[in-house]
Structures are given as C-alpha cells and as structure tokens.
Amino acid sequence: WDPMITTLPGLYLVSVGVVKPASWILGWSEHVVCSIGMLRFVNLLFSVGNFYLLYLLFRKVQPRNKASSSIQRILSTLTLAVFPTLYFFNFLYYTEPGSVFFTLFAYLMCLYGNHRTSALLGFCGFMFRQTNIIWAAFCAGQVIAQKFTEAWKTELQKKKEERLPPIKGPFSELRRVLQFLLVYSMSFKNLSMLFLLTWPYILLVFAFFVFVVVNGGIVIGDRSSHEACLHFPQLFYFFSFTLFFSFPHLLSPTKVKTFLSLIWKRRVQFSVIMLVSVFFVWKFTYVHKYLLADNRHYTFYVWKRVFQRHEIVKYLLVPAYMFAGWAIADSLKSKSIFWNLMFFVCLVTSTVPQKLLEFRYFILPYIIYRLNIPLPPISRLVCELACYTVVNFLTFYIFLNKTFQWPNNQDIQRFM
C-alpha cells in the first residue's frame, strides 16, 4: 500500500472484479490483465454508466411539460457527460468516474424511493472517496426536505386561513423558516417518522463515524498533506467555478442588472454579507503547499496569475463571489427552500474543510446543482456544450503535446 494514497480501495476492488473474470474467460496473461490500458478501461465503463445515470436523473428530476424537453434533456445529458473536470479523468486511473457513478446511482435510487439500495450505493461511493458520505447524507436530506416542504405548505395554508400578520424585517423569511424547523423538530411523531424513512442513511453515517474513530481521522495514508481546516473561501471558489462552467445560464446583462437593483433595495443585508465575506477571505484563506509547487494543474496558474498578482486581489473579487452565489441561488429558486438549505449545508461540509484548492472536489456538488436547475433553452445548451468541447480539446492537446521536465527529476511531466 502506497502511503501517498489517501482513499479507500474501492477502485482497485472493482478493477479486480472486472478484469479478473475477463482474464479467466479470454485466457489473457497477467501482463495484459494488469496493463495500464486495461485498468483505465474500467473508468471508461464507469463513464458510460455515468452517461446513462445522468439521462435517467434528468428524466426523474426535470418535469415533462414541454414538447422540446426531451431534446433539452438529451443535450443536458451530453453536456454534463463531457463536463471537463470529470471528462478528462475518464481516461486515467483516477477515482473520480467511479466516485461519481456510485453517488449518482445512490441519488437516483433515493429519488425512486429505494432508500436501502441508495444507502448501499452510498457506501460504495464512500469506498472510492471518503467525502462521498456527505452526498449519501444529502440523499437523506432530500427525503427530509420533501417532508419539511409538505408540512411548510400546510403551515402557510393554516396561517392564511387564520389571517395572521406576516413577520417583517431583515431576513424575515429565514426567521420564519428557522422558527418552523424548531417547532417541527420538537414533535416526537415527526422525528420518529423521519427516522423510519431515513434509517439506512443514519446507519451508514454511524458506520462512517465508527470508521473515523477507529482510523483516527477521515484520511488514510498521507495525512500531513490533507489536514482539515475552516477554509471558507473554498465556497467562493466553488461559486466562481460554477459561474465559469454555467455562464450561459447564469451570466447575462439582465441578471447583472437584476442583481444591482436587488443590492440597492436590500442594502443592509448585502452590506452585512459583504463584510462577513471580506472577513472570511482575510482570516480563513489558506494556501496549500501543493498549490504553490505543482505546476501540472490549472489551479497553480489561476493562483499565480490572479491571486498572487497583489494582496488586494482576493478582496476585490468578493463582489464577483457575491454575484455568483446569488446567481446560483436564483437559478435554484424552483426548488423548495428546504432543498436549498440541505444542498447548501452539504456543499459547505464538502468544500470548506479542504485546505487544497482542487477543482476535482467541485465535481459532485456541481453535477447535483446542474441536474436541479430548470432545463435551459436549446441555444444555451449548445453554447455550453461548445465551450466544454473547446476546454476538453485544449486540455487534451496540452496533455499530449506540451511535456516538460522538472529540475533534478528525469521523468517527463504532463499538464494535468
């Protein structure tokens, strides 16, 4: 076991399960069975599975109320299947394709109401990457959010009939929701109902905590380079990442105008958010040694050419982070407030503890986000697909043709 490996052996176990039977049936030699090509082929199988799962998820998540929606679903599936940060690793022996496969499969089974199957698939996802436990918990959150929404609608109807005056003032909606959640959670009947619905996920999360206690932490192998911390700007990096890859849906003159108008109307709230964001950037920005040392990754160049230009740059970007965060929240307004709350909690839990800025950590939250926004018009989907294709082409071209060497190292290095 290589001490630099920090994930559980899910990918290796699946590889044995796929490649060994093939060798017995076809009579291949061990040299062929354990070749780089054959091992990478396992991830190609996962990528085909991911394509099918994405299509099924779009059919399940998105309402079928338009004649063109089937074309939109197919285009959306194709676009997400070639999402650059995931697509590149389909062709290497990385954990990403398998990790996404089992997590999406768990999410699909959750939507179909097969919660025991979903929890089992969530465990498989955990075996690929420990942080996938968060997205297994998100599946439980999906069930809980649905029950909250039903109870919330009943509560609103009751208040409407009783003609009670609404709560006014800053963050009034949030206060109402928190008050409702407090009252709801005080009922033993409600809590027992939620437990009966989500017990497979609760069992899985309990098993995860046992693992953490026995292992002495989440990471196995090299822990010195994977220390947990409160890296709040990771959330801002995710917002920027999502804005970049979903710009046809999130960025337009109308959206910018709406955002500026909203800032003017809610000056107090936005001023508070701005101050808190600046504080987070000031006190909680961490720079991992890999980010500064490894010039084979996009993040190295983003950090060097944007953030290291001047100390003030990271503060000047705060308004852009705020716009990106608002645009993401606005695109999810078709989902219930409780779904958004669950998604945001899982997003924070999966990104904030990571010290290293690494785009691969954003793959799952991005895909779940992209699955749940309303189906965009075909023109925007074509634009998105074209941009993804260009990014993929450039990445593959640089990987294959622009090799280089490090000082005091004879090995050929490749970008990505």
Residues 306-330: pLDDT tens digits?
Answer: 998 888 999 999 999 999 999 999 9
Tokens of 18: 């796929």
Residue 331 has pLDDT above 70, yes or no: yes
Find, among 15, 24, 237, the residue nearest to 127 by Cα. Answer: 15
For CA atoms 402, 406, 409, 414, the dihedral sign is negative
Tens of pLDDT, residues 221-278: 777 777 788 999 999 999 999 999 999 999 999 999 999 999 999 888 899 999 999 9
C-alpha distance from residue 144 to each of 155, 175, 181, 244 (Å): 16, 19, 11, 31
Looking at residue 65, its pLDDT comes to 65
Distances from the Cα of 241 to the Cα of 26, 55, 283, 337, 400, angstroms: 45, 23, 22, 23, 25
Distance CA 241, CA 228 (A): 21
For residue 31, what pLDDT band results from cuts at 50, 70 and 90?
Answer: confident
179 within 8 A of 339, measured Cβ to Cβ: no
Say what the pTM is. Answer: 0.93
Is pLDDT at 169 greater than 60 in this prediction? no
Tokens at 396, concatenated: 């593959």
Handedness of CA 16, 18, 19, 20 (dihedral sign): positive
Residue 250 one-letter amino acid: L
Question: Would you say residue 164 has pLDDT above 60?
Answer: no
- Work out the number of other CB atoms within 10 angstroms of the CB of residue 147: 16
The C-alpha torsion from 266 through 272 and 276 to 282, rounded to 10°, is: 100
Split at pLDDT 50, 70, 90, the class of 175 is confident
413 strand-pairing partners: 404
The amino acid present at 140, given as its one-letter code, is A
CA 21 – CA 59 distance, rounded (Å): 34
Determine the distance from the C-alpha atom of residue 88 to the mean position of all C-alpha atoms in its chain, rounded to a whole number. 17
